Amino acid sequence: MTILIEQSALVSQVEQKDLQKNKNELVLDGGFTVPKVLTSDAFVAPEINSFGQTFRDYDAESERQKTVEEFYRLQHINQTYDFVKRMREEYEKLDKAEMSIWECCELLNEVVDESDPDLDEPQIQHLLQSAEAIRKDYPDEDWLHLTALIHDLGKVLTLPKFGELPQWAVVGDTFPLGCAFDKANVHNKYFKENADYNNPAYNTKNGIYSEGCGLDNVMISWGHDDYMYMVAKENGTTLPSAGLFIIRYHSFYPLHKEGAYTHLMNAEDKENLKWLHVFNKYDLYSKSKVLVDVEAVKPYYISLIEKVSPCISLFPCQAEMVKLAIFEFKSIQDLEAAL
């Protein structure tokens, strides 16, 4: 998937703004601005989710709580360093299928994220709710609209035609492997059953890493984030590094919400984290039972996809194409046997 962003256009937009003199804006490095004072039509983050609870409350009694906790029990037990290494080696081939970005979005009509305590709607709604909320506040930052639209596309890995990977191998908060599990991880008690928990090479603060090594050198739990990052990277995307960082680490809540694992970050990570903090407001708080009219907004996103001219890497460029890896596993038993 090659996503072309006209960098000169972005620079010119920044140059046209007198950012330092506008007291109503917070200026981040790179020229991206975050309004300090909301306008009357800006996106306002709600205080409670669609179940009447505060967002990301993993202890609240709700109809979703038991499902969510069981998800994290399985994820924390099964996501090991060796498991993630094998998954990366298999999926980085990206040699099993091709489809358009919008076709991939529509597949998410069939996906509900079992790890999410805040929403039980099909994931295409989450993509569009996030993108539309960002589009409302930042109408000129089309690269950010696109990042929001594609950030969760990797969740198609839960579908039968993509191998029907168990949800614990696709969704949920992500975390590093190869070092100690931080208490900032939700339902962290279940890590005690993880095979890496008592491995002396992995159970110190730095583990196999060095301080400031950079997140790119850290093995993060396998899921839709890393997979979609692979798809974008291997197909020559020209999304800004901040966009790729958002795609790869938007589920890394222990880092960007709780401040854990910051000792592993390098200077570039710290810069891109500012953009992820901006994105997270829309990723988390736009979740709602008020659904987006898909057909009404589809023309805009189709035009955006066509504008950025994505194409696959091994064939002549074809508008909207994305190359994806598909496994033929029919069950979790097949997955475990293959690995």
User: What is this structure's pTM?
Assistant: 0.76
User: Which contacts (CB < 8 Å, 24+ apart) does range 278-282 have?
Assistant: 278/28, 278/32, 278/34, 279/134, 279/144, 279/147, 279/148, 279/151, 279/246, 279/250, 280/250, 280/256, 281/43, 281/45, 282/43, 282/130, 282/133, 282/134, 282/137, 282/148
Q: What is the pLDDT of residues 11-46, one digit of tens each?
A: 333 333 333 334 333 333 333 344 443 444 564 544
Domain boundary assignment for the chain: 62-338
What integer pLDDT is reported at residue 324 of this predicted model?
63
pLDDT profile of the chain (339 residues), mean per 10:
38 35 36 42 49 48 75 97 96 81 85 60 82 91 92 88 88 97 97 98 98 98 95 83 96 96 98 94 74 91 74 35 51 49
